[in-house]
Structure 1
Amino acid sequence: MSEEKLTHLKAIVFDWAGTTIDYGSCAPASVFQEIFRQRGVPITAAQAREPMGRAKRDHIAAIGAMPEVDAAWRAQFEGQAMTAEQIDEMYADFLPLQKATLGAHSQLIEGVPEMIAWCRSQGLKIGSTTGYTRELLDIVAAAAATQGYVPDCSLGVEDAPAGRPAPFLLHEAAKRMEVYPMWNIVKVDDTPVGIEAGRNAGCWTIGITRTGNCVGLSREEWAALDGEAQKRRIRHAAQTLESAGAHAVVESVADIAPVLYEFDRRLAAGLLPFA
């Protein structure tokens, strides 16, 4: 990497699953499928992944509101749409199932430790946000710490009045890291709602394709694809994240350094992320 030093950026806030850990964001997707299957309403992996990045109760409600899922739900439950009480019950079932799977899905994605070290060498503070609850976040954060990744602040759904795409988790991260203005912060995320949250907060945003939810494949599943299939998946993921407003899109956190330099140059020229 270049010896050039960042002079305007002050902090970077990473997502967790699909961005820094859990290649393919596999842990949450499988559990969403399971809690719907238990109620006789099977959903596809694509349906499970579509609202990814939201707080998990909101995610369940969003799946239930999809026309095809709603129709299947009504067929199973005598014409009745999913109720708030049923959402609460599914959320209660989701938490222990997700907790049981996290240990197997908390491995840092390759290149993340080195990039975090480089960001710190550039003087950036490191934050993290997630749609996980604090109980779930504590599990993945503890596993990441054993691998050398310890953000300056880690925030879950209880740390703000509303989850993504609302900007409040990023506002709270900025407050705890004592960083301002918001345009000196970069948000890195693999989901459209994570990108939208960054834009709503006034941050620079970087979308992650290959390792994230928009591609949605484990490392082994990705390796099994031929080159053309991989390119198609990357293109589709990039288009999805760009449509959400990403200022830049890369395949992995390992690839973000050139983008950070570019954002820093734009700030030096007086350009802001919302200009």
Structure 2
Amino acid sequence: MRSTPRFMPLQIAKVVDFSAPIAGVVDTIAALRAEGLKIGSCSGYPRPVMEKLVPAAAAQGYAPDHWVATDDLAVGGRPGPWMALQNVITLGIDDVSHCVKVDDAAPGISEGLHAGMWSVGLAVSGNEFGATWEEYQAMSKAEIATRRERAAGKLYAAGAHYVVATLADLPEVIADINARLAKGERP
């Protein structure tokens, strides 16, 4: 998708205003790194936006080991496997079946599947849920449950192996995936 000439400068200027990590992300990433995991990021943002976003997020505690912008690769982005596989190559991971692709939208789930990875959907903190943190806080429990169920359905329909509410739930999923890998299962 191409941005209009007027949109890109606005997006670049405003992205830092929305760079705060989602609650639980910094601690979860730290816990995963303590287990020896490497963190790659596949972004739907183009490189000029990422060049502003990455330092702003890092200043708030989130910095992946490597990131790929949607326009970095000539072959394209999601739902193809290319951005996820570029992270694998750059991070020096030798078995894609031991990788986990986490995403909040169906094209990202497809990306992970196409790359041969375990795919985990985020049902509450992301695109499919469709609300800001402030909007979420104002919702009734019934609306949250309805939106979560709808988002989870879309992510499972896209092929997700797992769907969790937020990234904070990921360590339990990683433990389950490790147990499945130990039994010889693959994505």
- State whether TM-score is above 0.5: yes
In the TM superposition, 1:39-118 aligns within 5 A as 56-57=1-2, 90-118=3-31
Matching residue of 2:59? 146
Q: CA RMSD in A?
A: 1.0
Identical counterparts, % of pairs = 38
Partner of 1:221: 135
Pairing partner for 2:96 from 178, 182, 187:
182
Give the alignment partner of residue 191 of structure 1, picking from 105, 120, 128.
Answer: 105
Structure 1: 5+ residue runs without aligned partners? 1-55, 58-89
Q: 4+ residue stretches of structure 1 with deviation over 6 A?
A: none
| Partner residue, 2:122 | 208
Say yes or no: does 1:130 pair with 2:43.
yes
Separation in structure 2 between the aligned mates of residue 155 and residue 187 of structure 1, nearest angstrom: 13
- Is 146-155 or 241-250 further displaced after alignment? 146-155
Offset of residue 171 of structure 1: 1.1
Distance 2:158 2:4 in 1: 27
The secondary structure found in structure 2 opposite 1:249 is: strand
Shift of 1:211: 1.2
Q: Deviations over 1:184-238 (max 9, x none)?
A: 1100100100000000000001100111011111111111111111100000000
TM (normalized to structure 2)? 0.96
- Specify the structure having the higher radius of gyration (Cα): 1
Gaps of 5+ in 2: none
Q: Secondary structure at the match of 1:124?
A: coil
What's the TM-score, normalizing by structure 1? 0.66
Query: For the Cα contact (< 8 Å) 2:70–2:76, is it kept in 1?
Result: yes
1 or 2 for the larger relative contact order (CA 8 Å, sep ≥6)? 1
1:207 and 1:125 map into 2 onto residues whose CA distance is: 19
Which residue of the other structure, out of 252, 255, 261, is the alignment partner of 2:175? 261
Q: Please, which of 135, 157, 182 is the counterpart of residue 243 of structure 1?
A: 157
* Distance in 2 separating the partners of 1:93 and 1:198: 32
- What displacement does 1:95 show? 1.0
Shift, 1:157, TM fit: 2.0
